[in-house]
Amino acid sequence: MPCNKQLDAFEHSLKGDPNAPLYLRMSSIGQIAALFSFLAVLIGSCVTIYHYIKKALNKLFAEQLKAIDKRMDDLDKRIDAVDNNSCKNYLVTFLSDVEKDERIDEIEKERFYEQYEHYTKQGGNSYIKHKVEKLKSEGKL
């Protein structure tokens, strides 16, 4: 076993060498176990810190997203109100023209019915509906 003696002598000579790899400078299983224990604690600590930071960031982002969602909901309501008023204005103007017996072509009628359907789907009020039914019964629509 001359090879083992040479290897032991080589490892023994490296134990005092500060540039030698750490595992070669350790002389006992206890030191190696302590190194692994230290690494396990270090990794566990890093994982714990990571989870803590992740949780804090998720909470922060959730709060910011709630504020953005609220703003988006407010914008949606405003857009719906503008759309509703725009439809109502168009419908009132169109119905007024029909009442005045102004010439209305088929494309204008088609557009009117598209807008009217959109308006009623949005929950439009009954005075427009009442006016449309009246003009239909008179044969003007």
Rounded Cα distance, 70 and 131, in Å: 37
User: What's the Cα-to-Cα distance from 56 to each of 35, 50, 65, 108, rounded to whole Å?
Assistant: 32, 10, 14, 58
**Residues with Cβ < 8 Å from 82, sequence gap 6 or more?**
none
Write down the pLDDT at residue 18. Answer: 63
Average pLDDT over all residues of the chain? 85
Question: Which amino acid is it at 85?
Answer: N
Contact 124, 87 (CB under 8 A): yes
CA atoms lying within 13 Å on the CB side of residue 140? 17
Rounded Cα–Cα distance for residues 137 and 38 (Å): 90
pLDDT at residue 5 in the model: 57
- Which stretches in the chain have pLDDT values below 50? 1, 14
Distances (CA, A) of 23 to 26, 30, 45: 5, 12, 23
Structural tokens at position 134: 């009246």
Q: Which of 109, 113, 62 is nearest to 87 (CA)?
A: 113
Residue 136 token pair: 């239909």
pLDDT of residue 123: 85
Q: Is 123 left (phi over 0), alpha (psi -120 to 50) or beta?
A: left
